[in-house]
Chain A
């Protein structure tokens, strides 16, 4: 079989062309512009004893979204005078609370409630202590617009973001949109969903390693679970809250009506969402208004059986603890501190 020179040459050209095409097609820096809308999945590594994270359809977790949300969370650009960010009241090293009784906004304005922790906030389907807001996305709007917190508005925030050197690119990359209320609320909510606290000594114990709790802490756990104290009836489950709205008899008359604000039902006066006890040793002061400064004061309150408010939970009826038993119980509560969570670099900007 004869292969004429011309035939060989054209075969060579064909091969060369093929090689060039192949190279061009596999060159991964070739065509994608720097700010394309990309969705790199964000991998959550939840501890096995945690349920699946509830995630809304229009806000799947991606690395781009979480990064954007984190940036906004730590950015005072969201406040009128650019002094307050979400992180001003939600400080990672104390489980995303502040150390104040009542949170403080711009110009030292006083809010009216104690800042809640954001640990495992993704599992809440009713935000704020009276549970009026149904999603993390919608919650973002409130502190931004609130007179005593950031005292600002979305029109002006969007003007700032549009003129910012990085945010328009970050937002397009994360949501394929220009700066708007959707991208701001979704991204901050996406970041907040990643704030998982599942690595306390108690968590190790729950996963089957009984050496993770000391003997004293185990005694405290028994007291915590005992029918007499009934702590675990409300501070229940993997997150130490049943997320119900209950009245713990803190006052005879509640200035802050709690759940009543939503339902206008007298039976709901003084009812507030049961908070998680995770990291509780770090998150003083306690109660919806930060009126109890220490765990001892909290235990004093529950030990006393409350004020007897008509809506008080029947589970609060008082109990007796010896000095030693109280120390055991407090030791257990300290075992809920998650030192991985409060230092996790994924949750801060350093």
Chain B
């Protein structure tokens, strides 16, 4: 029996079509967007997720090297623990960053390694979450796994990788692993007013890795967000008399009886060096 378009069925057809039209137009008004609440373009109204469009806030660290509160200038005379001191090099590794938010959650920033030096002010920690952070957690030096260079030796890394070959070198020549910090310059060891004695602190090896926590207050809700950190170099040498103890390569140096101990003291001091501006 063939279907006949009589007026009854025609009306039903219209009703059906109208209903379909109504519902399909509502379908078009239904939004597509980023549904991740940790993104800065989180759209609470989006019903269809397209999270490839999500954008996240970038966290920048702005590092300020200081000596006794003044901006660091290489080859300028400072007094540290009563000893006249000049710096010609001050750089170190910070690694494995994470952020604590006000609700207690921790955001780990994977593979974060920074070589911090006075010539570079801004460092990116990459994408974080749209959240309010109260603590920056990080470490002085390089973790033991990466420090063993068992997966990729530094000669295989590109030159712009902070863990790649550096100039000045940040790896030991006679051993595997990174030099966590180099502080070099001259001190007045004799008290004659002339900074004539070379100062060299090369700090490294796995047991000098130190964890650091710095209280911060940052709401990462913009595309770029900056934390300003002061690095107070005089605190690197807390309890150290630079006239007597000014040379350590961690396993050799002066004084000969305490070269490893001198390196440990510097490593122990590092967490106290950082503060938020």
Q: Hey, which bits of chain A sit against chain B, CB under 8 A?
A: 58, 128, 130, 132-135, 137-138, 140-142, 145-146, 153-156, 158, 180-182, 184-186, 257, 260-262, 264
Contact = CB atoms under 8 A, between A and B. Distances in A.
Contact of A182 (B156, B172, B176): B156
A138 B153 contact: yes
B155 A185 contact: yes
24 contacts: A128-B174, A134-B176, A135-B153, A137-B153, A137-B155, A138-B149, A138-B155, A138-B176, A141-B165, A141-B169, A145-B169, A146-B173, A156-B167, A158-B159, A181-B154, A181-B155, A181-B157, A181-B165, A182-B155, A184-B155, A261-B175, A261-B251, A261-B252, A264-B260
Given A153-B169, A181-B164, A261-B251, A133 B156 contact: no
B82 interface: no
B158 interface: yes
A346 B173 CA distance: 29
Contacts of A180: 158-159
Contacts of B164: 181
A49 B117 CA distance: 53
B98 interface: no
A153 B153 contact: no
A132 B158 CA distance: 23
Interface in B133-164: 149, 153-159, 164
A156 B169 CA distance: 13
A172 B275 CA distance: 48
A58 B168 CA distance: 27
A58 B156 CA distance: 10
B252 A132 contact: no
B96 to A, nearest CB: 23
B171 interface: yes
A132 B149 CA distance: 13
A264 B261 CA distance: 12
A251 B104 CA distance: 59
Contact of A133 (B169, B176, B252): B176
A141 B159 contact: no
A133 B174 CA distance: 6
A132 B159 contact: no
B159 A142 contact: no
Nearest to B149: A138
Contacts of A133: 174-176
A119 to B, nearest CB: 22
Interface-central residue, B149, B158, B172, B173, by most chain A CB under 10 Å: B173
